[in-house]
Amino acid sequence: MFGLGRKRETVGLDIGASSIKAVQLMADRGEHELVRLGIAPLHPETIVDGVIMDSGTVISAIQQILTENQIKTKDVVVAVSGHSVIVKKIKVARMKPDELEEAIAFEAEQYVPYAIEDVNLDFQVLESPNEEAGEMDVLLVAVKKDIINDYLSIISTAGLSAVVVDVDAFALQNAFEIAYEVDRNQVVGLVNLGAAVMNINILRGGVSEFTRDSALGGNRYTESIQKILGLSYEQAENLKLGGKVDGRTFEDARPAIEMVNTELAGEIRRSFDFFRSSSPSDTIHRVVLSGGSARLQGLVEYLSESLEIPCELANPLRNIKADPKKFDPAYLEVIAPQLAVSVGLALRQAGDK
């Protein structure tokens, strides 16, 4: 069920806290082309802590995207994230696949803080340098059933069929692998700064070694500006994005932004330190930053300096063809970091494992 694989032709539907993104790709002989793309904004109270509070608004936004962008495909891939998603790399006694299928619920009970009957489980056996060892590494994924059911209900009501339910962190990995050459000797930190949640996925040689979701996102910048400058949420959001509000500019918001930059860097650093504490290597070679707030002025440079790791802005579309007559290249360049999850979802297909 979850994002441990890829796809040929569906719509990647990223239902985020501040907007819904839909991406449809066409695959042909190993190459991908952008076919459809749509984005619809959401009010900040529509989705809170990964829980859909106003399903009617979400359904309307999905239908708006489908209609305005002439998306006819009904099969979609969606993703979940947040505290209801548990991803752990665990060690289990070496056994055959059918034996592991039966044993995984028992193994999962040690790591999942919910009743096993209340979650959907998935797993993938990871490659091991020592196939003769008595244990093997398994990537375990558990998501609360009520969260998944909420998303599936909305998808169904919108007239669509969810053929795969993924996890944001794995969608990031799919998008990274299609856009960049995977160096088997590198450790890469994928950081997706969404409006309400930050997803972190650390890859070693293209294999996910550590994932974490943090309730710190781009909205924190808006709230900080709002509080310090005494603005409305909409005014603070406008200022954050480089606009002007009552004579104030981005420079007036900089102290509020720098406060959150410090908090964000600290949160990423704690995740990286935790990874290093359980990893045979303490080096993270690069960080690829995506999400709607990744383009915040000066953020990539600040994180590079603060983390002492080269950071770069993600472009999940860099190896995906796009007809310039249908899609403005300048527009795609601006929104590309925001599309990392939806592109990763669009690379999946029904039946993936």
Which whole number is the average pLDDT over 133-148? 89
Distance (Å, rounded) from C-alpha 296 to C-alpha 304?
Answer: 14
Which whole number is the average pLDDT over 181-210? 92
pLDDT of residue 231: 95
Which whole number is the average pLDDT over 71-80? 94
Q: Which two tokens stand for residue 69?
A: 């962008």
Distance (Å, rounded) from C-alpha 17 to C-alpha 28?
Answer: 33
Higher pLDDT, 47 or 317: 317
Confidence of residue 168 (pLDDT cuts 50, 70, 90): very high
pLDDT of residue 129: 62
pLDDT of residue 131: 63
Which whole number is the average pLDDT over 211-224? 93
CA 120 centroid distance within chain = 19
Q: Check pLDDT > 90 for residue 220.
A: yes
Q: Pairing between strand 207-214 and 198-204?
A: antiparallel
Task: Catalogue all structural domains in the chain, each as residue range(s) with its CATH number.
Answer: 1-83+145-180+318-353 (3.30.420.40), 181-315 (3.30.420.40)
Q: Check pLDDT > 90 for residue 4.
A: no
Among residues of the chain, what percentage have pLDDT more than 90? 73
Lowest-pLDDT range, 88-92, 255-259, 273-277, 342-346?
A: 88-92
Confidence of residue 7 (pLDDT cuts 50, 70, 90): very low
Q: Check pLDDT > 90 for residue 350.
A: no
Q: Are 167 and 81 in contact (CB under 8 A)?
A: yes
pLDDT of residue 6: 44
Distance (Å, rounded) from C-alpha 20 to C-alpha 38?
Answer: 8
Which whole number is the average pLDDT over 217-222? 94
Q: Are 141 and 123 in contact (CB under 8 A)?
A: yes
pLDDT of residue 5: 45
Lowest-pLDDT range, 140-154, 268-282, 296-310?
A: 268-282
Q: Are 169 and 199 in contact (CB under 8 A)?
A: yes
Q: Check pLDDT > 80 for residue 335.
A: yes
pLDDT digits (tens, 9 = 90+) for 254-299: 999 999 999 999 999 999 999 999 887 779 999 999 999 999 999 9
Which whole number is the average pLDDT over 53-72? 95
pLDDT digits (tens, 9 = 90+) for 41-50: 998 889 887 7
